[in-house]
């Protein structure tokens, strides 16, 4: 696949993956492509854990689902992220950023804007929105053929040192290499970020994966082969808009 096509076709996969084991060859390709990312002084501050064990995936899925429900129930998620939510085509066409929550059960539609607002707590509990989202998250992760985790060495990922920033930039390059490679292989990937919002939940994953104290577990993704016809989750979003080059970039000086 041409690199430009891969960049333009890359998308976050919100749906389930098809029920197919990821081949050893494809796993090795992903690890190799990830390893070719740039890093400061070529220090390669990362280590990767590929999780195929069904029981382990199920346990992480439960942590993901519980974290999602917990974040919804305590209202933190909406307060923190409300500014990114769009509810109709006009809104997202205007801002060209954020995520368009365009898919939800019919009974929720009349309340969409209230649910995704600070005052939405009552509606969230009345319609069990946190449970719907938590269950969807758990199922999506549990049914994923593999999870891919990235840990950064604390020799580089050090508090208040520039090397911490460099390590995160380097990991970003790894993630993009992975994302483009999955695209080329007919696969998809999705961040499992919700447990990262709750330190106790993240620690559970660290312990399950037996990440040593010398490494920081930094990111976990689910991966598998995609099929465009897979059913969307109960509540879902899309976000393919991008701001124009004119809006995003300047020549020589700011503005
Ligand atoms: C740091 C970071 C964290 C993200 N966390 C999540 C997440 O928890 N769940 C999810 O579905 N997508 C997550 N995403 C994906 C973004 O929502 C997505 O990249 C963005 O909406 C653009 O959509 P696209 O990837 O389909 O182009 C994350 C992306 C980044 C870079």
Calculate the average pLDDT of the chain: 94
Please give the pLDDT value at position 80: 85
> Confidence class of residue 118 from pLDDT cuts 50, 70 and 90?
low
- Of all residues in the chain, the percent with pLDDT exceeding 70 is 96
| Domain contains 65 | yes
44 lines ligand 1 (CB under 6 A): no
Those residues whose C-beta lies under 8 Å from the C-beta of residue 168, and which sit 6 or more positions away, are 152, 157, 218
DSSP the chain: --HHHHHHH--B--SPPPS-PPPHHHHHHHHHHHHTS--GGG---EEEEEE--HHHHHHHHHHHHHHHHHHHHTSHHHHHHGGGEE-SHHHHHHH--SEEEEE--GGGGGGHHHHTSGGGHHHHHHTTHHHHHHHHHHHHHHT-SEEEEEEEETTTS-TTSHHHHHHHHHHHHHHHHHHHHHHHTTEEEEE--GGGGSHHHHHHHHHHTT--TTEEEEEEEEEEE--TTSPPPSSEEE------HHHH--SSS--
**Residue labelled with tokens 């509990």:** 125
| Domain contains 200 | yes
11 lines ligand 1 (CB under 6 A): yes
48 forms bridges with which residues in the sheet?
Answer: 150
Q: CATH no. for residue 232?
A: 3.40.109.10
12 lines ligand 1 (CB under 6 A): yes
Ligand 1 centroid to 171 CA: how many Å? 15
> Confidence class of residue 171 from pLDDT cuts 50, 70 and 90?
very high
Ligand 1 centroid to 113 CA: how many Å? 21
Please give the pLDDT value at position 218: 98
| Domain contains 49 | yes
Ligand 1 centroid to 128 CA: how many Å? 24
**Number of structural domains, the chain?**
1
Please give the pLDDT value at position 129: 84
139 lines ligand 1 (CB under 6 A): no
> Confidence class of residue 143 from pLDDT cuts 50, 70 and 90?
very high
| Domain contains 199 | yes
Ligand 1 centroid to 173 CA: how many Å? 15
Indicate whether 247 pLDDT > 80: yes
- In tens, the pLDDT along 175-194 reads 999 999 999 999 999 999 99
| Domain contains 142 | yes
| Domain contains 251 | no
Listed as own residue / partner, the contacts of 239-247 with beta carbons closer than 8 Å and 24 or more positions apart are 239/12, 239/92, 239/98, 239/99, 239/100, 240/11, 241/92, 241/93, 241/95, 241/96, 241/97, 241/100, 242/96, 243/96, 243/97, 244/96, 247/96
Those residues whose C-beta lies under 8 Å from the C-beta of residue 3, and which sit 6 or more positions away, are 180
Average pLDDT over residues 215-242: 96
Pocket-testing residue among 6, 9, 11, 12, ligand 1, by greatest number of atoms within 8 A of Cβ:
12
Indicate whether 60 pLDDT > 90: yes
| Domain contains 250 | no
Please give the pLDDT value at position 112: 79
Please give the pLDDT value at position 146: 98
Which residue range(s) make up the domain with 54? 3-239
Inter-residue contact 33 to 187 (CB < 8 Å): no
State pTM to two decimals: 0.95
State the sign of the Cα–Cα–Cα–Cα dihedral 235, 240, 241, 247.
positive
| Domain contains 181 | yes
Cα distances (Å, whole numbers) of residue 159 to 23, 43, 69, 165, 169:
38, 18, 30, 9, 15
Those residues whose C-beta lies under 8 Å from the C-beta of residue 10, and which sit 6 or more positions away, are 179, 180, 183
């Amino acid at each position: 696949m041409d690199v430009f096509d891969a960049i333009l076709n890359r998308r976050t996969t919100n749906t389930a993956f098809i029920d197919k084991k990821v081949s050893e060859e494809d796993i090795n390709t992903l690890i190799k492509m990830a390893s070719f990312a740039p890093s400061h002084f070529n220090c390669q501050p990362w280590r990767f854990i590929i999780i195929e064990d069904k029981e382990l995936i199920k346990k992480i899925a439960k942590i993901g689902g519980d974290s999602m429900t917990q974040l919804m129930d305590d209202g933190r998620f909406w307060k923190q992220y409300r500014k990114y939510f769009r509810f109709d085509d006009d809104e997202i066409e205007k801002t060209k950023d954020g995520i368009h929550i365009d898919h939800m059960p019919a009974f929720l539609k009349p309340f969409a804007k209230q649910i995704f607002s600070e005052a939405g707590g009552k509606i969230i509990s009345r319609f069990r929105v946190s449970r719907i989202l938590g269950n969807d998250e758990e199922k999506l992760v549990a049914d994923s053929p593999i999870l891919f985790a990235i840990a950064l060495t604390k020799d580089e990922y050090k508090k208040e040192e520039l090397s911490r920033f460099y390590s995160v930039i380097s990991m970003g390059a790894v993630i993009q290499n992975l994302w483009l490679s999955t695209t080329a292989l007919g696969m998809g990937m999705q961040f499992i970020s919700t447990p990262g919002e709750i330190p106790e939940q993240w620690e559970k994953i660290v312990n399950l994966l037996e990440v040593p104290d010398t490494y920081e577990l930094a990111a976990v993704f689910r991966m598998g082969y995609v099929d465009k016809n897979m059913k969307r989750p109960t509540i879902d979003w899309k976000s393919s808009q991008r701001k124009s080059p004119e809006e995003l970039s300047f020549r020589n000086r700011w503005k």
